Amino acid sequence: MKKVRALVITGFGINCEEEMAAAYRLAGAEAQIAHLNGLYEDKTDLRNFDVLNFAGGFSFGDDLGSGKVLANKLMYKKKSAKGSFCDELREFVSGGGYVFGVCNGFQVLVKMGLLPDIGGSCAQEATLTVNDSASFEDRWCRLRVAKGVRTPFLKGIDMINLPVRHGEGKLIFADAEIRRRVEEGRLACMSYIGEDGEASMEFPHNPNGSEMSCAALSDKTGRIFAMMPHPEAYLSLYNNPAWPLIKRENPRISEDGEGLVIFKNIVRHVEAEKY
């Protein structure tokens, strides 16, 4: 059977590409890491891939706001062939492709207007800005997946523990109408939760102060999905600093990290859909 192919973008300060590629390989897919310039110079053909991935990092040093410079580059820089990469990306999605962003990748997709894309015009409808703590947050969080989410990345997941590491993770919607339509459309896919299992606005359970305690968004198709926590940073049980306690309490627990299921989900979905 033909393998699912994942493309992981790197360059300009992105620094989590190796972990993301490893996640896809552990999930049974082929993964290729490519510098963004290769796409602009037509050295890498997006049509050869099933999932396009924007990994975490500090693109362009986050100097003008996290992800903003990279978002502008993707939207407005013309390729050597006709059109922009943004045009190509839209064709990729309409042709059955999937797009996944993590942390800085989430910031980029939001600032490109691809998430939540309520109006369908890719106008920016939200932003990710400085954490309420005014500090870089590097901690583990508990998250709950909303019922009825559209994206296959989260299939079968109820609650998950993942690390966050960001300075600008506070999600703010442009206005109350956008927020209402995100909520009604179930596009807010994951919530930061407290010890009681309910969505929380309290620090440190919510590490950034995001509206609706929102940690992830999808578009209306479910094909574009992004999240602030890092699933690629929890591929093995031993990535968790509390693994000795977890293992002692449940000796037969899987040695897979909880984040790996997100990658397995999309690989299995694409296999069933295409191959």
Spatial distance between the Cα atoms of 65 and 107, rounded to a whole number of angstroms: 9
Given the residues 103, 141, 189, 214, select the one marked as catalytic: 103
Contact 193, 143 (CB under 8 A): yes
Given the residues 19, 168, 232, 258, select the one marked as catalytic: 232
Q: Establish whether 232 is a catalytic residue.
A: yes
Given the residues 166, 230, 258, 269, select the one marked as catalytic: 230
Among left, alpha and beta (phi > 0; psi -120 to 50; other), residue 273 is alpha
Task: Kindly list the catalytic residues.
Answer: 103, 230, 232
